[in-house]
Amino acid sequence: MNGTYIAGNWAVGHGDWFERICPASGAVSWHGHAASPEQVAAAITTARQALPDWRRLQQSDRERILVSYGEAIKSRREALATAICKDMGKVLWDALGEADAMYGKIQLSIRALHERAGEAVDKAAFGFTQLSHHPHGVMAVFAPFNFPGHLPNGHIVPALLAGNTIVLKPSELAPSVSKIMADAFEAAGLPEGVFNIVQGGHATGAALLNGDINGVLFTGSEKTGLMMHRHFAGRPEIMLALEMGGNNPLILWEPADHDAAADIAAQSAFLTTGQRCSCARRAILPEGAWGDAVVDGIVDRAKALKIGQWDEDNIFMGPLVSEDAAIAATQFQMNLAKSGAKSLRRLKRLERGGGFVSAGVIDVTDARYVADEELFGPLLQVYRVKTFDEALKVANDTRFGLSAGLVCDDIQRWEMAKAELRAGIVNRNRPTAGASGHLPFGGPGLSGNFRPGAYYAADYSAWPQASQIAEKAARLAAIGFPG
């Protein structure tokens, strides 16, 4: 199969051979050669050559093409969802929701561009002032496996609207969606060379980072994001927009309906098999009977979750992205247990193999050491505390800051939590994994570099230019000037 897409043409990659194995079925979903360093350089050169005409195009024309792309995405909804399912095991209803989000991104991005990175003219005594925005240039987009369509699309659409050109490196764990995106761009009439794809793993990514690019738009792990940040140290001319996940807390504090609290916690922790960067990793509850009842409810829901392959009926949770990820999740749980944590419901590998695991709940209140790491899987760590102030302290005891939540009927506690929780997304009586495309997505700490995406992606897709304009040159009344 094809390893590169350059200037509207598919070509076999010249790099290492790799295959993508579906973690649910064990079938090969993609196979081919990665792009070689030379092919990556060619993709960047092609994007560079396409840049002048694309950025000079009228804004209305770029918007028209992106609207047409949205319609092409909409008509490929089932194909997109199936590719996502077969690559990374996501259940069908979840994958269809991802395809819908890709379509919904278009109008949101157009609105955000005009609101946050548009043009403005104001009168001044000498004439007028003008605000305009300009594209950065060639943008390298690194896609994650968990939302292989929606998350790169959330970078690509705002960047293209602003006049940038793109080289996309899909995750090697979910490479198939990118071809459907390319087909949709072709159907929309996107000029050749504006959108390019290089398939592959570490070597392909390294070649892209070392190429003649103007920016990196990345969603992925803390480890990779920090590597990119170090790679471009001392190069402020490179735009870096890094989203690197979180170790997200959910405080549950005595709402009247403890079943609703358990529902919110279970969905926060186990949605998309725990493979959303905004999933709750830590549940913080008061000591006593109310907390006991909610924890029991979460465990009951973990036991009841239907787990299976994407095309089976009434499935809530599919596999983790790979067998290696399943092994890593069980090892993480084992390390907690060795440190004194108490397993309430074990995350264990299922007999059907692959990436399939059960949902787990573990009480880490008395553990000697709990790593401040993002486990990308369905394991919820439980902390029991005496006071609400202690709950806030535990919630903020993390290097990350992406998402947090409070389940509570008390408005005063909510106001306190909203003020104190150090996270970019703070929800009340809603799952932590619920994010709105009308709002920014990102957070402080190791969750990113203060370049939030979603509605705020317009901010990192273009740079502002301020102008003072007079119709004619006129003498300036200044002390010391002759005449």
Task: Place 250 in a pLDDT band, splitting at 50, 70 and 90.
Answer: very high
CA 422 to chain centre: 19
Beta pairing, strands 138-142 & 215-219: parallel
Secondary structure (3-state) at 398: coil
**pLDDT tops 90 at residue 275:** yes
408 catalytic per annotation: no
DSSP 282-302: EEEEESSHHHHHHHHHHHHHH
Backbone angles phi, psi at 231, to 5 degrees: -60, -35
Residue tagged active-site, from 172, 243, 254, 374: 243
Q: What is the Cα–Cα distance from 288 to 268, expressed in whole angstroms?
A: 23
**pLDDT tops 70 at residue 243:** yes
- Counted residue by residue, the chain has a size of 483
Q: What is the Cα–Cα distance from 284 to 251, expressed in whole angstroms?
A: 5
Amino acid at 129: T
The closest of 141, 136, 69, 61 to 107, measured between CA atoms, is: 69
pLDDT of residue 474: 85
Residue-wise pLDDT for 115-165, tens only, equals 999 999 999 999 999 999 999 999 999 999 999 999 999 999 999 999 999
Task: Place 291 in a pLDDT band, splitting at 50, 70 and 90.
Answer: very high
Please report the beta strands in 125-187, taking only residues with DSSP state E, as ranges in sequence order. 127-135, 138-142, 165-169
DSSP conformation class of 273: G
- The token pair at 57 is 């195009």
Q: What is the Cα–Cα distance from 32 to 20, expressed in whole angstroms?
A: 9
Q: What is the Cα–Cα distance from 154 to 458, expressed in whole angstroms?
A: 10
CA 33 to chain centre: 26
**pLDDT tops 80 at residue 358:** yes
Q: Which residues contact 474 (CB under 8 A, 6 or more apart)?
A: none
**pLDDT tops 60 at residue 239:** yes
277 catalytic per annotation: yes
The residue whose two tokens read 């994007």 is: 47
pLDDT of residue 477: 74
Q: What is the Cα–Cα distance from 152 to 93, expressed in whole angstroms?
A: 20
The closest of 42, 63, 43 to 54, measured between CA atoms, is: 63
pLDDT of residue 483: 62
Mean pLDDT of the chain: 96
Backbone angles phi, psi at 262, to 5 degrees: -65, -40
**pLDDT tops 80 at residue 1:** no
The closest of 387, 395, 370 to 284, measured between CA atoms, is: 395
The closest of 279, 296, 299 to 288, measured between CA atoms, is: 296
Alpha helices (H) along 232-368:
258-270, 289-304, 323-338
Residue tagged active-site, from 22, 85, 277, 408: 277
CA 43 to chain centre: 24
Q: Which residues contact 169 (CB under 8 A, 6 or more apart)?
A: 140, 141, 142, 143, 197, 198, 199, 200, 204, 205, 208
pLDDT of residue 479: 66
Residue-wise pLDDT for 34-76, tens only, equals 999 999 999 999 999 999 999 999 999 999 999 999 999 999 9
Residue 80 to residues 59, 73, 98, 353, Cα–Cα distance (Å) = 28, 8, 9, 25
Q: What is the Cα–Cα distance from 483 to 466, expressed in whole angstroms?
A: 31
Residue-wise pLDDT for 168-206, tens only, equals 999 999 999 999 999 999 999 999 999 999 999 999 999
CATH number assigned to the domain with residue range 4-244+448-468, chosen from the 4 options 3.40.605.10, 1.10.3720.10, 3.90.650.10, 3.40.50.9100: 3.40.605.10
**pLDDT tops 80 at residue 422:** yes
Domain ranges for the chain, please list them: 4-244+448-468, 248-428
- Per CATH, the number for 248-428 is 3.40.309.10
Alpha helices (H) along 288-427:
289-304, 323-338, 388-395, 411-420
% of the chain residues with pLDDT over 70: 99
Q: What is the Cα–Cα distance from 20 to 267, expressed in whole angstroms?
A: 28
